[in-house]
Structure 1
Amino acid sequence: MVSHTESESRIYSYARILSGIFTHVMCAAFTVFVSVLAKPGSSLFSWHPFLMTLAFSFLMTEALLIFSPHSSPARKFPHKTKGRLHWILQFLCASCSVLGLGAISYNKHLNGKPHFTSWHGLVGLVTVCIVGMQSVGALPLIYHKLAKGWSLAKLKRYHAASGLITYLLGSASLLLGICSLWFTASVTGNSWYLAALCPTFSAFAIMSQVTNAYMAKKRLQS
């Protein structure tokens, strides 16, 4: 007979699996939605929303979900392989974000408009810079000899904490982009709220994944 504790544990596990699957679907659907809306290639500006959404909604989310114990598509792979996949996805994320930033900067230059005058622009710029620093900061995890005097466990904790902050900044940048004149001119009503739900839900899902992973490690160590 299944105990009450085991039953709760199963329900919790199923809820985590469904949440992870939902996050996969939402971040992919949101990226496709913005891509259809932006029509990349139709103008120089069109590359900005497409590349930024691809970077922060899809690639960065999938890079973090790689380590999910419940919904990772690489769940059965060894941790080293997951780490390599994470690095590749993060490299693609950084590349897309730099290209997206370049597209909007050059577009503003051509049109004689001021740069980074909105919260969306400022948060986006800060996020792209931090993504670059986060990528460089991850090198000691791959080549541990670069971090003399630092334990691998401590480096992983710092990387996870800074990575979560970076992801939340990326989600905030997407939400601010949803509030932009370009987006609200085309998307209104319930569609806008559904669009806003995507980065919001993904942010809570990733935050829960990271915090639970390190809380579990602390419980095991205590």
Structure 2
Amino acid sequence: MALSVETESHIYRALRTASGAAAHLVALGFTIFVAVLARPGSSLFSWHPMLMSLAFSFLMTEALLVFSPESSLLRSLSRKGRARCHWVLQLLALLCALLGLSLVILHKEQLGKAHLATWHGRAGMIAVLWAGLQCSGGVGLLYPKLLPRWPLAKLKLYHATSGLVGYLLGSASLLLGMCSLWFTATVTGGVWYLAVLCPVITSLVIMSQVSNAYLYRKRIQP
């Protein structure tokens, strides 16, 4: 028996709500897991994985889920209020990422190791730089009068697309970090695979959210 349009809509919203809730829990759980594993303060390097997971797994995920119509924790706020919260969370993510990057650079300097010698390091550097550019671009959306010649709708589309790319870069950096000697020396077997699934799950949820909110909608418009 075919489902009615209304029933399909309810099922679709329920699935999106469940996936959004899962993204909240996974982002928080993964960050706590890495923090426990790294034991911040035990060494200079120990701050790097904690800060990077806080930036790219938790803060950045929450910054994007702010706009989710089904799973945002700030649905009671106006669109403008959520936009400001989004920018604050993104800025905090950038600050954490910059601090984490600075500490690992200092750590490598102390050990006399080469910088950007791994794919994890290169991806992380690109992700941090991209996040900086993305935050700068967000100022134009907070204050559209700064860019009077650009239609606001196009600015939002470009910002959303660029933000999705930046988020995926951050997730890729986390995935590559889980292939590092530091991580694989401690986390093995099924736990390693579960950890790898975390940024994959949040990336899929964010990709779906952005695609439905901007990319797909813009593509079908005449």
TM over 0.5: yes
Report the counterpart of residue 57 of structure 2 in structure 1. Answer: 57
CA contact (8 A) 2:31 2:53 kept: yes
Amino acid at match of 2:74: A
Superposition TM-score, scaled by structure 2 size: 0.96
Partner Cα distance (1:81, 1:143) in 2: 13
Greater than 2 Å deviation, 4+ residue runs: 215-222
Identity %: 56
SS in 2 for 1:179: coil
SS in 2 for 1:70: coil
Report the counterpart of residue 132 of structure 1 in structure 2. Answer: 132
Once the two structures are TM-superposed, the CA of residue 3 in structure 1 deviates from its matched residue by 5.7
The 3 A distance-change label for structure 1 pair 185 and 70 is: same
Once the two structures are TM-superposed, the CA of residue 11 in structure 1 deviates from its matched residue by 1.0
Partner Cα distance (2:60, 2:10) in 1: 29
Q: How many residues align?
A: 221
Superposition TM-score, scaled by structure 1 size: 0.96
Amino acid at match of 1:35: A
2:107 is equivalent to residue 100 of structure 1: no
Report the counterpart of residue 184 of structure 1 in structure 2. Answer: 184
Report the counterpart of residue 6 of structure 2 in structure 1. Answer: 6
Amino acid at match of 1:169: L
Amino acid at match of 1:134: Q
Report the counterpart of residue 156 of structure 1 in structure 2. Answer: 156
Alignment deviations for residues 164-211 of structure 1 (CA, whole Å, 9 cap, x no partner): 000000000000001111000000011001100000010011000000
For structure 1, which runs of at least 5 residues remain unmatched after alignment? none
SS in 2 for 1:138: helix
Alignment deviations for residues 77-96 of structure 1 (CA, whole Å, 9 cap, x no partner): 11000001001100000000
Once the two structures are TM-superposed, the CA of residue 216 in structure 1 deviates from its matched residue by 6.0
For structure 2, which runs of at least 5 residues remain unmatched after alignment? none
CA contact (8 A) 2:63 2:86 kept: yes
What are the equivalent positions in structure 2 for 1:65-80 lying under 5 Å apart?
65-80=65-80
2:18 is equivalent to residue 18 of structure 1: yes
Once the two structures are TM-superposed, the CA of residue 220 in structure 1 deviates from its matched residue by 8.2
Provide the alpha-carbon RMSD of the alignment. Answer: 1.4
